[in-house]
A and B are shown apart, each in its own frame.
Chain A
C-alpha cells in the first residue's frame, strides 16, 4: 500500500530525514517509535503533504501513485489520513460544515453524489455511537475551546467519518488520560479492517498496550535503526531510548 524508499528531507536547510525505508501493506499496523527530535512527526507531515519540507531524495508510492506529486487534499481523498499531534483550533468554522465539506469532497472524488443533510446527520450519529463519543463536539467550531483529550477524540471521529485506507496517528496518545486513551484506542481498533493500514507514531509504549502493532520501527536521527515485532516496544520501554542512542554511537 505504502512504499517509502530512501526518503531524505530537510526543513530550513537542516536535514531531518536521512534515508527512510518503509513498506506498509493492507491490514498491517506499524508503530514508529523514537526519542524527541528523531524525525517522527516530520515523516508523518511529509506523508500528509505539508509544504514546509524539502524532499532531497527518495520516493514514496501510495497505491501505485507517486504520493509526493499530490496535493494534500488529493492525498486525503485518495485515502491518507493524518491525525494531527496538535489539532489546530479554527474559530468560526463550525465542525458540522467542515465535516460535511470534507465527507462530500471524498465522495466527489469517488464519483458519488454528495450526502443530503439527512443522510449526513445519520452518518454523524452512527459514527458517534460507534466511538462512544459522549461529548458534544459537532455543534462547536473546529477544536475551539476543546481540551487536549477532546481534540484527539475529534481527530479519531474525523477518521471514522472519512474511513481512510492509511491512517497516520501522530502522537495521538500524548497528553491523554487513561480514559481518553482507551476511547481513542478502541476507536482505532474498531475502524481496523483487512483492507486498511495504520501507522502509529509515538514516543511511549503505552498506546501499544491498547493498539497492538504488527511491526515496531525505531527512528533515530532521521533513520530507522531497528525494526521488529511488537515485543521490540516492550524492550524499548524497559531499556529506554539510551539503549538505542548508545548502541548507535
Chain B
C-alpha cells in the first residue's frame, strides 16, 4: 500500500516448457501462470488477506485442471503452475500491485474466481473480466470526504465529546482528509502525508482548548486525528498471523506501526505548538 499511485506490476516469467498449448489440448500452464500472478498481485495489493489469496488462486487453477503453489512475500508473489502428472512447470514472480486498499476490487476478484469455478467461463472471458475489474474501480472523492468527516465527528461523540467538540473534529477531519487526498494524488510519500495531515488536524482540533468554547477540549484534540489510524492493515496483519503467514503479518504490522508513529509525531508536534498537554 505504500506509494499511492498505481504502477504496472512487473512479471518475470521463467520458461521451462516450450509448448505453447498444453498437449491435452486445454489451456497451457504458462498462460494461466501469467494470469494468476497478475491476479494475485492485484488481490494482495487491494488489501486481501493471505488466506483469501491462496483460496481464490487455487480455486481458479482447479477449474482449469491445474495445480498452483504459491509463496506469498510482503511485496512479491511467486506462483508456480503445473498440470498433475506432467513434468512441465511454470513459475512467475510478480510485484504486489501498489494501489490503495479497495474492498471493491477484493470482492469482484473473489467473485471472478467463483465465476471461473462454477460457471466455467472461458480463460479469455476471465481475462477480459479481470481487466474490467481493475480499471473500473472509481469512487467519488467528495462523497468520501463527507462520509469521513461525519464518521470522525460521530466517533468524537462515542468518546463522550460534546456538540462543540464534534463540530471542531468535523472541521479538523475535513481539512486533514482533504489534504491527504490532495497530497496522495500528487504522489507524496504516504508517511509524510500522515505526518502533515495529523499535524494540521491536531492544530485545528486544539481550537476547543485554545478558546475554551466547549466542555470537552481534550476529547476534541484526541479524536481529531483518528481518521488516519490504519485499521485495515492492523486487522489484516493479525488475520495473517492466525493463518500462520508470519512474514506477511509482520510486514503489514510494521507498515501500520510506522504510519501510526508518523501520525503520533504529527499529533505531538501539533499539541506542543499549541501548548496543549496530553499526559
A binds B: no
Interface residues, chain A, CB within 8 Å of chain B? none
B residues touching A (Cβ–Cβ < 8 Å)?
A: none
